[in-house]
Structure 1
Amino acid sequence: MSDKSAAENMLDAAAAKVNEATDRARAAGHEVAHAVTGDATDKARALEDRAKAEVHNREAHAEFNEGKREAQDGDGH
């Protein structure tokens, strides 16, 4: 992580959670499309979007934890 303030880290964590939710919603849409059409491309896209959501989830947790540490020690590291 870079030398960001606690607020910057928390804002980045929130943004990552929004991205996670967007990816999960997109995956659900692809699942519905796959169920309706049977198109394997939709199934693949759903898997890809779920993987992206997991990456954003891990990013959110890392940013939150860094922000929490920064709020406690305030040294910028």
Structure 2
Amino acid sequence: MSDDKSTAGNMLDAAKAKINEGADRLREAGHNAAHAVTGDAHHKAEALEDRAKAELHNREANAEYNEGKREATDGDGK
């Protein structure tokens, strides 16, 4: 976000981050299911890691979206 992107660029980055968040949450669910079946603590650790990644991507998406919204309303369109 430190570079000066257009509104569309920010919105595209927000969408990418949301897709990554969804993928992380699916992996988390898979690891939780594997942990429930096998009881292997390794799966639980991987689920926690994927949850942390998902939260990071969620924060990134929100920040990019908010920046894009600011760019759209500041009048210059860039």
Q: TM-score range by the shorter chain?
A: over 0.9
Q: Which residue of 1 aligns with 2:12?
A: 11
Percent of paired sites with the same residue: 72
What's 1:70 paired with? Answer: 71
1 CA distance for matches of 2:27 and 2:64? Answer: 23
Unmatched runs of 5 consecutive residues or more in structure 1: none
Would you identify which runs of 4 or more consecutive aligned residues in structure 1 move more than 4 Å?
Answer: none
Relative to the length of structure 2, the TM-score reads 0.94
The 2-side partners of 1:56 and 1:13 are apart by: 9
For normalisation by structure 1, the TM-score amounts to: 0.95
Alignment length (residue pairs): 76
- Gap regions ≥5 residues in structure 2: none
